[in-house]
Amino acid sequence: MCGRYTLTSQDDLVGDLQLAIGEPVDPRVPSSPPGEWWRPRFNVAPTQPAPVIPNRAGPRHLEMMRWGLVPVWAKSLADSARRINARVETAATSPAFRDALRRRRCLVVADGFYEWRKDGKRRVPFYLRPVPRQVITFAGLWERWKGPDGVWIPSFAILTGAPNGLVAPLHDRMPLVIAPDDRDRWLAPDDIDPVALEDLLAPWAPDGWKASEVSPHVNRPDNDDPACIEPVAEA
């Protein structure tokens, strides 16, 4: 699974994405609360707002959405934390994710993620990221849910699949990364048969990635600072 991730340097984010996607990305984020956008994130946690690029028609925008997909038929936000991930094997048939996979895909912008290895009764955190640091994009699904007060709340989930050789010693799931050359296809604003997208959702190669054990400091979602990614030992 993917339960925490990072976006540690947002100063060059817009420029990086313009190069990666091949067209300008509007840096304005109308849904972003003041101070929520242009700051590093060292510990993005479920139910928090985070930047994504949805496949809306027209110019592409970075938008803030709640992590934890809320289906249109949900009664409340209460169980959104259970839908932070969508299993790639079942997303096409799941009532919560099937519509989004066909019609509402997004790129979840990141530069690393965390996994926890079981060690007896302990859970040891590891930080996984490409070296050198670069913007990566997870395959995501998004939805809009209308609350009782009439306010629309956009939310997203990260697609996960079987682990590669780097992740397998830590966990049996990992987030799926959309390669730079495939981002445009994933963001197509069309109704697409999920079968046509299967080749984009294969496990990514671990070459150029690094895993480091980090401090239990990251275990608390309230801790969102550089100490979260400080290595304890190399994996």
Residues with a catalytic annotation lie at: 2, 115
Q: Which residues pair with 138 in a beta bridge?
A: 108, 177
Report the CATH number that the domain containing residue 33 is assigned in CATH.
Answer: 3.90.1680.10
Asked if residue 109 lies in contact with residue 17, where contact means CB atoms within 8 angstroms, the answer is yes
- Cβ(173)–Cβ(164) below 8 Å: no
> Residue 96 corresponds to which amino acid?
A
Instruction: Using the predicted structure, report yes or no on whether residue 212 has a pLDDT greater than 70.
Output: yes
pTM of the model: 0.89
pLDDT at 211 over 90: yes
**Domain range enclosing 121:** 5-234
Gyration radius (Cα) of the chain, Å: 17
Q: What is the number of structural domains in the chain?
A: 1
What are 123-159's pLDDT values in tens digits? Answer: 999 999 999 988 899 999 999 998 888 889 999 999 9
Q: Which of 100, 112, 163, 171 is nearest to 138 (CA)?
A: 112
**Residue type present at position 220:** R
Structure tokens given for 199 = 């080749």
CB 61 within 8 A of CB 28: yes
From its phi and psi, is residue 186 left (phi > 0), alpha (psi between -120 and 50) or beta?
alpha
Identity of the residue numbered 21: I
Encode pLDDT of 89-103 as tens digits: 999 999 999 999 999
Q: Which of 56-65, 88-97, 182-191, 203-212 has the lowest mean pLDDT?
A: 56-65
Residue given tokens 């997870």 in the structure block: 138
